[in-house]
Chain A
């Protein structure tokens, strides 16, 4: 995984795990790899992984089972909220950027619809 060195690594690891959970690469109740294994595969420090995981545990996204390791939560509400939060963050960014170009909400919807349709056509080819 390639990191953006301007952003704290633990934060990027959290985002990475969110994504893995949303696309169900990590399924509800599935065990997360051991800390050291994650450190080696992502080429980051064990402490960094530790920090990311402990924040994820605080958020309820991961659950620790004593002596067994960390697992993705099976709590549907948490998982739905996680997905909403991540999507909302992306949408918020798009919204902010477009409104910075003085584009009204209605126009935004129009642009978005047109764009989605064009992608669909490309897809059908």
Chain B
């Protein structure tokens, strides 16, 4: 049997090319922006490379999320991976975890590059209460990480469910049924995302808003952790469904 560690190491290495690609593009965008700015302003003093870089961060994150999702999904139907002598559960965990760890790797690289470009001036932020800083950072990261995992496991579930359903349909009707499935999923996703968006919006607003009293804002930390916990439950539920679908229904091409 293949060892999970070996498989995961290989998957991490393969998927890291997506991380490098996205960061490369982000740096390219930064250089182009700086050149344009320099051309317009004529001098370097007022330029803020770290700020520009960070401002492309959100777009880069979204692109990477999608690229990693594509690579993750590709593995479910790929014979090269599916015929590896390893249980479907281990294959699933290796795939999901290697995707996740590449994202963490991406965040670390982003932080380092932003730091190198000109350290983020933390004093600019209206830090509520530094004694709760650890709580804010960990809860924020917990939420981001669980949200990402919900996203990837959800995408896998839709993909694998679609595959399973299509095995029961005549070849000619496949396109139509898949279209219906994706429309349903789109609305479901829209609903879920808007709920999540509201929650995060509140969190972020609170975090930066000077209106809130310093004394009470830290109370948001608890609910954020609870929300992350709920997200984690979804991740586990989706994963159990995915492993079942993988083991009994998902064929390799």
A and B touch in the complex (CB under 8 A): no
A interface residues with partner B (beta carbon < 8 Å) = none
B interface residues with partner A (beta carbon < 8 Å) = none
